[in-house]
Structure formats: structure tokens, C-alpha cells
Structure 1
Amino acid sequence: MTVLDRVFAYCDDILEGRIKACIKHKWAVKRFLKDYEDCMNNPDSLFYFEEEEGEDFYYWAREFHHVEGVLAEQPVELTDFQLFISVNIFCFKKKSNGARRFRKVYIQLARKNAKSQFLAIIASYITFLGEEKQRAYIAGWQKDQSDEVYEAVRDGIASSTLLEGKWKEAYGKIEVLNNKSIIVPLSRETRKTGDGKNPSVGIVDEYHAHQTSEIYDVLQSGMVARKEPLMVVITTAGFDLSRPCYTEYEYVSRILNPDDDIENEDYFAIICELDEGDDIKVESNWIKANPIVATYEEGLESIRSDLKVALDVPEKMRSFMTKTMNIWVDMKEEGYMSAKKWKECEVEEFDTTGRDVYIGVDLSKKIDLTSVGFAFPLEYSLHVEQHSFMPEETLNERRTKDKVPYDLWIEEGWLDVTPGAVVDYEYVEDWIMNEIINKGWNPIMLCYDPWGATQFAQNMANKGITTVEIRQGYATLSEPTKDFREYAYKGSITHLKDKVLNWAVGNAITEMDSKENILLSKKKSRERIDPIAAIINAFVQARFALTKPKGDGNVKFISMR
């Protein structure tokens, strides 16, 4: 039976239900069959299908040998699931230049499903057999993540007698002797993100762990000059929906969905996860997320063990759901706000002209981010916005340290730089007054933390703005911090698609006292939370402009004019 025969049989088993699969897995299968049929029967198709390359990849994989476990020293035998992925990646070619059709690949499945080994085979296949010099970069957020795949490549090619004497390892990279191709591990942790020059293969491992898209962007931008680059993201699900991997997951899910208008002919994706409503305790569901592990008894026993621990120790359930069932879970430890709930409050635009406004400020340190928050009471809801400021001379330093695109946010209008090396508070004061005048706002009051902001408040009072101190403690902040979250969860708050604010909300961590009072903690929050802190300061007073009607629980706002 040829590789393609095996793949077609696998597709039939998936669609006929002989192999249980999630809906997105089925969509990927249907997409493959549709695209193959188009290549074979449509003379106007932009692509052709080269079956022989699927065979080549299969036999290349057999040059690798398992280096540990019960299969140690035996040749790697790709599963039908892996053959399905490899045929998609390597067999579809462009008629225009013979290059691979797919430039990007997204694979999401549960842990222990031979991800590192499969990536190692892909990286070595392209680098060893490429006609030109290939550069393959393996990128993890931390060094141990990139090292894991790199070591799998090294161990795999070292196990091959065919490749003996055809490569060398030096200075932390593998070099192929005949074409000078290289395989190099990269990581943010070792500051080795700028080394990926002119990559032909970029492998981003466990993308859910990447706090920003920094490494992905470096690799992607370096591929412009390549004829057939390949960017591969492989990951399990995660628990922080504000990270770039979840955005990518949502995007590729739309590509796969045949009822969605989003199309991307350059992007292959496959997602293996439990479907909504599936019971994690039903063993027949496990193969949906574990297309390899759940096909043999030792793998099933491992999942049973993981499930028992998760059921006995609730703190372990988050890890079980994401790593073993491959389900995205919004369960950030001590996180203030559900990213999903916050995202549901987004609106494309909102006209604040002429409205009442409560202004909150979070001045922070003069060399850091300073934020101004705005709360606009409406008839049955509250709209919030922010604007932040950073010293011009520290912008590059802060962008490097914080690993966020401050320069892009400036271009998009969410952030301003002030002249000099420290935040110019007079600049901030003038900016606020200009906004009030230009938009015809009715400023009810300005709410500020008295620590370090007394002079700022006095200056604003001299400009005719009523100012109110907001003490930064549980007594003042706990109730409004809880209420703000409650209103967001009920859909009674709106906000713009402000990347700075969304970033800050995703960063926010709470701390709690013995009486279950909470406040946002700058000490616990690893990243900056100033924009949401400024909005909370405004909300401390804005909430008194609203009442909760009996019955429906919706928020009703009463104007204080």
C-alpha cells in the first residue's frame, strides 16, 4: 500500500467515524480531499500534487531510529495521522514555480504525541535534501523548549547509518556538509532571536508558552527572500487567551471552517481537541486530542493516570485540560479578568463626543508607563477608554525590556511619547485638557492616587477640574475592582479594540486579604497594568453614577449633570 493509499484510507476512517475525531480534524480532512480533487481534475488549479514526495518523506523518516523507550533502536514508522500531515505539507506544489504550496503550518495536539520527533524529521528532511543552503531555526520561548526539538534532530540523524559522516555539530548548531545547511536552536531567554537571518524553515515549538509573537515575527520577516519557506507552529492548548497563540488558533480555526469566508491557500492547519460538550471522563473521546497516544494501551493508561490526579487535585485540572485534552482554558492563576469575557465587550468604535466623563490617572514612575483612564456613564452601560504615555528617550529600552510593540501602539494611537527622558506631566495635563475641549466632554471629576500625584492634581484643579483622591488600599479599591469585573462579565461595559488596554487587562493579577478583599497587584503582575489601574481609579467614582435595577441584574446609569 502506498503512502497516498494509506492517507486516503485514513481520511475515510475519519469521515466514516471508524476513527473518532473532532470537528476541526474532520474539516482538515475534507479540505485535503477537496484540494486533491481540484489538483487532479481542474486544469485551472494553481497547484499540482506530487505523490512521490510523500513516499520520499516516509522513507526519510525510517532513517531515524527511536533512541529510548520500548521502541529503542527500531526505525521510526510514521502513523497514518503523521502521513496525512506530511502529504499535505510536501505534496501540494505551485504550478508557477514548483515550490511547496504551504508556507505556514499550524499543528495543535496534546502532549506526548511525538511532536518533537516529527518536527525533527521535517527539519532534517529539508536541510539535508535541499538543493540550496537551508537555514532551519527551532524556536522556543525558553531555552529548554528549543533544545528539546534540537536534541531530537541531533539524536535522530545520529541514529541514521545513511547520514553517518555527512554532518557535524559545533558551537551549538548542526551543519550539513554537502550543502552547508544549518539547524540552530533559538530562544528569547538566551537573547538569540536576532540570529535567524534568512531562514528557510522556522519551527516554533509550544507557541502557547510564548508571551509575545516576538520570535515568530523575527523568523517570518526573515523569510521574504526564500522561494519556498516553511513556518511551522506546533503546540498544545494553553490557559492565557491574551497570548498570540490563541489569536493564531482562532484564525486557523476559521480557515478550516468550510462555512467561514476566511481562506488562506498558503496555510495548512490541523487541530486535534475535544469538542465542546465532550466528557473528559469518556475514554473514547481521548483520541480526538491524542491521535497517537490514545491508539495503544500504554498511552491510554498514562491518560487515565493524569485524569485521576486532576480529579483528585483540582489545581491539576487546568494542566490536564490544556496538555492532555488540548482544550484552551481561560484559567490564568490569580488573573483578574477572563480574556474571553473581556474580548466579548469589544466594540469597533464609539462616539464619546459631549458625554460625561470620569478621568482616572496612574502616574507610576516618571521613566515608565503613565496612563489616563476614562469612564463614560451611559444609559444602561459604561464605556471605558485609556491613553498612555512614555518618555521618548526610554522608548527603545522599554520596548526591549517589556517585549511589546510600543512603537506600533504609538502609530495606532493608543500611546504617546513625551519629550525627554522622563514623563512630562505637563504634557499629560495639556493632552487631557485638549481632549476635553476637542470632544466636548463634561469632566465630572479626576480621580488620582495621592502618592506622587499631588502636584498633578493641583495643576488640574487650577484648570477647573474637580479632583478626588483614590487611596490605594483594600478599603477603597476592593469593591469597585470586583464590581468592574462583574459589569464586564454581564456585558455592561464596552471598550475599543485597544491593544494597550487589552494587554494590561491580560497582565492584571489580583491579591487578596484574609477577608477576601481584592485589588490589582503591581508586585504580582509580571507585566504592566497601568492602563486598567487608571480606569479602575476612574470607576471608583463613576460607579456612583449608576444603580442596579431589581430583577434583570443589568447596570443602569443615572447622569450626574
Structure 2
Amino acid sequence: MTNSAASDHLSDIDLYCQSVISGTRPACKWERLAVERHLNDLQRQNTDGFPYVFDLDKAQRIINFGELFPHVKGKWAAQVGAANRIKLEPWQKFNFAMIFGWVHAQSGLRRFRIVYLCVPRKNAKSVKASIVGLYMLVEDGEYCAEVYCGATTERQAWEVFRPAQKMAAKKASYRRRYGVSSHAKRLECDQVGRDGNGRVVCQPDGGRFEPVIGKPGDGASPSCAILDEVHEHPDDTLYDTMITGMGAREQPLLLMITTAGSNIAGPCFSSQREVERMLEGEENDELYGMIYTVDDPETEWMTDIGIEKANPNVGISVGWDYLRARVKDAMRSPRKRSIVLTKHFNVWVTAKNAWLNMLDWNRAADQTLSVDDFISEKACLGLDLSETDDLTADVKCFRREIDGQDHYYFFGRYYTTEAKVREHDHYGEWVRTGHLLECDGETIDYTQVEENIEEDAEQFSIPQCFYDPHGAAHLAQRLSQLHDIEPVKVGQTYTNFSAPMREFERLLKAGRIHHDGNPCLAWMFGNVVAKETEDGKMMRPVKESRESKIDGAVAALLAFIGAFEPSDDDQDFDDFLRDPIII
């Protein structure tokens, strides 16, 4: 690659950064913060407390390398000559330069070991991942490199590896220079290293690049792990396996490349939140992340600005007409809206047909809220006791008047069993952070639940307990007999829940619902699907699958039924509240 071409790469990256910062290029909050992080780091490179530098040669080398390969799918794959060659866009060059250009000032080893890229569909994710895999196989300086495309299904594992295999097959000079041979299920490398003049030195190597479903075999030592569509991973098993296997490598790289999804209890959402905290200022020098999405998921996705923010390759690998058509589909069909938002705008929507917009729920969180701020105040208690071996919830709802309007505050306890914690990684994390209570053994300790409610009754005024009759009747009666809390039975019917759910959603959007940000409750609210009657006039809460628990959300809605006081324009709900005890 000529010096002119190299300088063009640097110019493209500089212009990209300037356009993002100036607003010339429509960019979401996270893209702007990622660019600002790089520019700020340039000012402090190789200073006390920040031992990293931006190596221009290494930043350009991966770009030069990637642009030597041909396209293997899409309209460009049918072209010949230079028209068939991959041409990276400035936003792609920026990401490659960040991952491979930032190094330790003394050792020269890569700064970033974990990379999270959240990019919508049709924005050339497989091209980026393939270039990284092919580069890490031969240019990383690791003897016997091991590069894995990890996924939970065979189809997904091949989504990255197959394009890389085709790219290698179409580039004879790559195979010849590095001694790469292609087999049915892997690429192998028989050369590694360079002499003092920078020339490739031939020697036995045994490096390999292959797809992996689940865990790699015993003895695996990944130098690079590419995890595609991480939002589909149910737990951290594959991530943890790759990370722990990298211990013997000098500068391993774990690349997560994904769209948004619907499982906020999974490892993908957790990784995204970690990236968001890092971009907002939390120190993490070994993590690089970029998220392409919209700033306002309520309306921005319906605009061309929103399309451009979330889809950096629009007009190139994905057409404007295609995305505008998807937007129209989403506007016409609520069922398609969640799919379009997740796949083309990287908006997390939790349940695929979730009742609430979880961004509204997240905005209602206030980490400074404490139930101790409501000592001696009146609370309504909602109680949902499900199966004896799974989640149980009791939630208190307080009402306060602010500027002439009622606001509602929710605090809950959520219980699970020791056995369930072993089955679900996200349960274990919530137990460790105190957001979920673990009962010993394999059944819920209802005595513990009762004792905690008894303690609440001593600190707060709890005249009534609204409960789901399925499983909670016995405890409700004990609360009445022993603790003077009146039990109010509310079955999960359309009649009982339709009006409260509509009012709850309205007040949430109006900023009159408040909670303490418990992630366990957020997960359960995200799992709630509003099942409607055929005419669409009534609804009740249900879940999409057995694993999608909603007990805490139901308990919160039960507490809301008891706490809500309609204003003059809430006459329909007022009529309902006159007789809520309907089974």
C-alpha cells in the first residue's frame, strides 16, 4: 500500500472524528463519546497513569490488510478487478484503527483486549469480523494462533467463518504468503514471524481459524475469539470459556459483534451496559466499545436522521429505500416494530412483544431512592407467590402528591431458591448485588417472606395486601390473622388488569412512576406481554415463555391497584376500583 493511500486512511479517520464532533455526521450519544474518548486519549498518551500511545503504523496496517481482500457476497462480489475489492468506509477505518492502533508505550502490545461492537443488520458486520479473524491468524505475532468464531448454534458460528474462508480462497497471495491452507471446517497457517527486514519467515506453526459451537475443546488457547450475535447467547458460558482460555496469550482479543436484542438478563445487555458506563467516564483501559443507535427511540427511528445515526453504512451496504420501507412496516404493524427497532436501530425492547417501553422504565429509575425515606407512610402491598421453587415477589407502593399530581413509588423484595441460582447466571449476579434474595435449598422460604412483611408493617402503614390467589391465599390469610393486613384477592383477568395497566403505562410516560432501579424487577417488567382481547379493548399481563418470569411486575401492578387514586378525568378506573375483587 502506498504512503498516499496510508495518508488517506489517516485523513479519513481525522475527518470522520471532526464530522462526528461537529455534528456534520448524524451520530448518537455513544458514537460521539467513543470519538471523544479517542481524541482525549491522544492528548494524554504516554503520560503518568496512562501508558498507551496511538501507533499510526499499526492503525493503518489492519486497514491496508483488509482492503486487499475481495467481496464474497452482495452486489460487489459479482464485479471484477478493483471494483471487487473491499473498500472500508471512514467509520470502519476508525474502529479498526482504535482496536489495533492503541498499544502500550513500552511493550507495544495492544491496549484493548475486549471489544464490543453493536451494529445493526446489513451494515457489513461479517466483513469486519472476517478481516479481524484473517488478520489475527497470521499478523498478530502469536505462535500457533488460535482464532475461533464462537456461537450457540452451528448456523451462527458459520456466519463469520464462511465469509472469511471464501475471502481466503479468493486471495491466492494471502494463502501463499502466509502458508494458509483451507480445509472443510477450518483455515490452517504453516508460517509465522518476520525477520529483521520485516519479511515473513517460514517455519512450522499450526495456527488455525475455525468455527466453534459452545465451548472449544480441552487444551484450547484462543488468541482471538469472535462472538457473533451475542444477544442470542443465553448466558456467559462461551464468553467465560474464551476469556479463561486466553491466559497464556500476550495480547489476546475477544471481539463481540452483535445487534441489540430482547434479553436484558443475558450477557450481551450486560456487556453493553459496561460499555456505556465506560464511555460515560468509568475507567476501563482494556475495553473498547462502539454502539450505533438512536438517541430518542420513541420517534427518531421514523426519521432519516435516525436511520443515518443507527446505520453507519446506509447508502453503501444497506439502501435508504430498504430501511425506509422497514420503518413504514414498523409504523403500520406494532408486531413488526420491535423487530425493526432491535435489528435496524439497536434498541433493546426486552420481550419481543413487550408491553412497556423499557426505556421509559429505565428513565423512571432513581438510585438515590430508599424505602427508608417513606417510614411511617401508607403503602399498599402487592404479593405474587408463584411456584414454590421459583420467583416470589412482594412489592410496596407509596403515593405522594407533587405539584398537585400523585406520584407512585415502588420498592420490592424478590425471592428465589439456591437451586435456581445455580441454574441461572443472572440470578446469581442479582443475589451478589442484593437485588434478589436467595432461600436455602430448593423451595421458597415463605416464613422468611412473612417475617419480612411483618417487619415492614412495623415501619409503614400497610392496611391492605392485594394478592394473586394462585399460590398466595395461605400467606394472605396469615397476614390478615396475625398482622392485621386486610387481604384483597385480585385474579389475573382482563377485567382486573386492563384499566390498571393502561393507567400505569400512562403515568410511567408522564414521569409519575418511580422506582429504585432494581435490575431484577426491570427484567420482569421487560418480560410482560400485554395479551389483548380480540377487539383490543382489554388486556392482562402474560409472559412469552416459562423462563420469562413476571412475578415482580405482577406484584407491582397489584400494589398499584391498591394505591392508585383517580383524578376527575379517571372516571373509568374509578368505576373499576369500587369492586376490584373479581376472580
Shorter-chain TM band: 0.7 to 0.9
Deviates more, 1:366-375 or 1:226-235: 226-235
State the TM-score, normalizing by the size of structure 2: 0.77
CA contact (8 A) 2:13 2:91 kept: no
For 1:443 and 1:285, locate their aligned partners in 2 and report how far apart those are by CA, in whole Å: 47
For 1:272 and 1:328, locate their aligned partners in 2 and report how far apart those are by CA, in whole Å: 10
For 1:307 and 1:496, locate their aligned partners in 2 and report how far apart those are by CA, in whole Å: 34
Count of residue correspondences: 532
Q: Does 1:201 align with 2:221?
A: no
CA contact (8 A) 2:113 2:251 kept: yes
CA contact (8 A) 1:20 1:285 kept: no
Output aligned runs, 1:58-73, within 5 Å.
Answer: 58-61=63-66, 64-72=69-77
Output aligned runs, 1:402-481, within 5 Å.
Answer: 404-437=425-458, 440-465=459-484, 466-481=486-501
Q: Which residue is equivalent to 1:145?
A: 156
**Which residue of the other structure, out of 373, 376, 384, is the alignment partner of 1:362?**
384
Report how far residue 532 of structure 1 moved: 1.0
Q: Deviations over 1:190-237 (max 9, x none)?
A: x54898965432323234555666644554455455432323233345
Q: Deviations over 1:455-512 (max 9, x none)?
A: 3333333313322211221122222222222222222222112121111011111101
Cα distance change of structure 1 residues 262 and 549 upon mapping to structure 2, 3 Å threshold: farther
**Which residue of the other structure, out of 366, 390, 399, is the alignment partner of 1:377?**
399
Deviates more, 1:503-512 or 1:155-164: 155-164
Q: Which residue is equivalent to 1:558?
A: none
CA contact (8 A) 2:116 2:289 kept: yes
Deviates more, 1:311-320 or 1:360-369: 311-320
For 2:23 and 2:393, locate their aligned partners in 1 and report how far apart those are by CA, in whole Å: 57
Query: Secondary structure at the residue paired with 1:377?
Result: strand
Output aligned runs, 1:133-532, within 5 Å.
Answer: 133-140=144-151, 142-161=153-172, 162-163=174-175, 166-167=180-181, 169=183, 174-177=187-190, 178-186=204-212, 191-192=214-215, 198-210=221-233, 215-216=238-239, 218-220=241-243, 222-223=245-246, 226-237=249-260, 245=268, 252=275, 261-262=281-282, 264-272=284-292, 282=304, 289-295=310-316, 299-300=319-320, 302-303=322-323, 316=336, 319-320=339-340, 322-324=342-344, 326=345, 328=347, 330=349, 333-348=352-367, 349-350=369-370, 351=372, 352-379=374-401, 380-396=406-422, 398-399=423-424, 404-437=425-458, 440-465=459-484, 466-515=486-535, 516-522=537-543, 527-532=548-553
Cα distance change of structure 1 residues 479 and 212 upon mapping to structure 2, 3 Å threshold: farther
Cα distance change of structure 1 residues 491 and 103 upon mapping to structure 2, 3 Å threshold: same
Cα RMSD after superposing both structures: 3.9
Which blocks of at least 5 consecutive residues in structure 1 are unaligned? 556-561
Query: Secondary structure at the residue paired with 1:105?
Result: strand
Query: Secondary structure at the residue paired with 2:463?
Result: strand
For 1:214 and 1:430, locate their aligned partners in 2 and report how far apart those are by CA, in whole Å: 37
Match of 1:383, as an amino acid?
Y
Q: Does 1:83 align with 2:109?
A: no
For 1:307 and 1:518, locate their aligned partners in 2 and report how far apart those are by CA, in whole Å: 26
Report how far residue 373 of structure 1 moved: 2.0
Query: Secondary structure at the residue paired with 1:157?
Result: helix
For 1:271 and 1:394, locate their aligned partners in 2 and report how far apart those are by CA, in whole Å: 33
Q: Which residue is equivalent to 1:94?
A: 104
For 1:392 and 1:27, locate their aligned partners in 2 and report how far apart those are by CA, in whole Å: 41
For 1:521 and 1:366, locate their aligned partners in 2 and report how far apart those are by CA, in whole Å: 19
Query: Secondary structure at the residue paired with 2:175?
Result: coil
Q: Deviations over 1:504-525 (max 9, x none)?
A: 0111111011352111114667
Which blocks of at least 5 consecutive residues in structure 2 are unaligned? 191-203, 575-583
For 1:100 and 1:521, locate their aligned partners in 2 and report how far apart those are by CA, in whole Å: 48
For 2:567 and 2:23, locate their aligned partners in 1 and report how far apart those are by CA, in whole Å: 54
Match of 1:354, as an amino acid?
S
Match of 1:444, as an amino acid?
P
For 1:467 and 1:206, locate their aligned partners in 2 and report how far apart those are by CA, in whole Å: 47
Q: Deviations over 1:123-151 (max 9, x none)?
A: 12112233234333334455433320121
Query: Secondary structure at the residue paired with 1:521?
Result: strand
**Which residue of the other structure, out of 58, 63, 68, is the alignment partner of 1:53?**
58
For 1:395 and 1:194, locate their aligned partners in 2 and report how far apart those are by CA, in whole Å: 27
CA contact (8 A) 2:330 2:337 kept: yes
Q: Which residue is equivalent to 1:559?
A: none
Q: Deviations over 1:255-291 (max 9, x none)?
A: 55xxx64554433344555676878665x98655544
Cα distance change of structure 1 residues 477 and 313 upon mapping to structure 2, 3 Å threshold: closer
For 1:238 and 1:18, locate their aligned partners in 2 and report how far apart those are by CA, in whole Å: 28
Match of 1:346, as an amino acid?
A
Q: Does 1:538 align with 2:556?
A: no
For 1:194 and 1:506, locate their aligned partners in 2 and report how far apart those are by CA, in whole Å: 36
For 1:285 and 1:411, locate their aligned partners in 2 and report how far apart those are by CA, in whole Å: 38
Cα distance change of structure 1 residues 538 and 6 upon mapping to structure 2, 3 Å threshold: same
Cα distance change of structure 1 residues 8 and 342 upon mapping to structure 2, 3 Å threshold: same
For 1:523 and 1:29, locate their aligned partners in 2 and report how far apart those are by CA, in whole Å: 39
For 1:252 and 1:485, locate their aligned partners in 2 and report how far apart those are by CA, in whole Å: 29
Identity of aligned residues (%): 26
For 2:395 and 2:165, locate their aligned partners in 1 and report how far apart those are by CA, in whole Å: 52
CA contact (8 A) 1:242 1:339 kept: no
Match of 1:66, as an amino acid?
H
Match of 2:71, as an amino acid?
H
Match of 1:166, as an amino acid?
V
State the TM-score, normalizing by the size of structure 1: 0.80
CA contact (8 A) 1:110 1:323 kept: yes
CA contact (8 A) 2:416 2:437 kept: yes
